Amino acid sequence: MAEQYQVSGRTAADIVTSVEAGIRLNHLAPGTTLPPVRRLAADLAVSPATVAAAYRTLRQRGIVETAGRNGTRIRHRPPVAHRAAEPLPDGVLDLTTGEPDASLLPDLTIALARVDTTPRGYAHASVLPVLEQLTRERLLAEGIDGDITVTGGALDGIDRVLSAHLGPGDLVGIEDPCWANLRDLIAALGQRMVPVPVDECGPTPEGSPRRFDTAPRPSSSPAEHRTPPEWT
């Protein structure tokens, strides 16, 4: 842990707040190892159970990860707002946000003028028929049939699937490499990631079964996401 920052607090919630503040102020960098439970407990004059509870909460929030004998350390991308990052050099684009270039998007003025603006409540909420038809045709062409649910983006959809079918500690197969925000989501859900090798068609048949056969808990839900499309 950086010498200029000392984790503080008398309760588990206080310790969690202190660690989050250290990350937010750039005093605890990604990869920084936090003090062992008993050492921090002695430094703060609290019980080891209090520190353990704080570390458990931080782990459930996806802020820290347990690295075996290497202790507990700050994750590479903890979901805590940092101070404003340094501006990028000229000619460098930040692709980590997945944000499209607005100048390349089409003008929707004409299309929006044809949208039905009749007010509707939750009781009448449904998938637009034309969207459902196009989606079903595309999925059927790939041999996929079933109900269609529209979510607020890929990450929202993956979140719903993982939350519905898996719990903390379960395994999730992810493409290697994969979208960084997906890693953050899985960590925040308290689930464990198993990198699966991929080729141009997706996860390889040889790599997927082998990775899960050797896992201690074989419950899994492979997830795939590329941003931008077809880029990894």
Kindly report, residue by residue over 114-140, the tens digit of the pLDDT: 888 888 777 777 788 888 899 999 999
Q: For all residues of the chain together, what is the average pLDDT? A: 80
pLDDT of residue 36: 92
Tens-place pLDDT, residues 35-93: 999 999 999 999 999 999 999 889 888 888 887 777 899 988 777 665 556 788 888 87
- What pLDDT does 137 receive? 93
Neighbours of 39 (CB within 10 A): 12
Would the pLDDT of 225 be above 60? no
Backbone angles phi, psi at 220, to 5 degrees: -150, 160
User: Quick one: pLDDT at residue 220?
Assistant: 45
Q: What count of other Cβ atoms lies within 10 Å of the Cβ of residue 202?
A: 13
* pLDDT-derived band at 212, boundaries 50, 70, 90: low
Q: Round to whole Å and give the CA distance between 170 and 183.
A: 14
Give the phi and the psi of residue 58 in degrees, each rounded to 5.
-60, -40
Strand-pair category, 64-66 with 72-74: antiparallel
Q: What is the pLDDT of residue 191?
A: 82
Arithmetic mean of pLDDT, 171-191: 81
pTM over 0.85: no
211 or 89, greater pLDDT: 89
Report pLDDT digits (tens) over 158-168.
888 888 888 88
> Cβ distance 64 to 34 under 8 Å?
yes
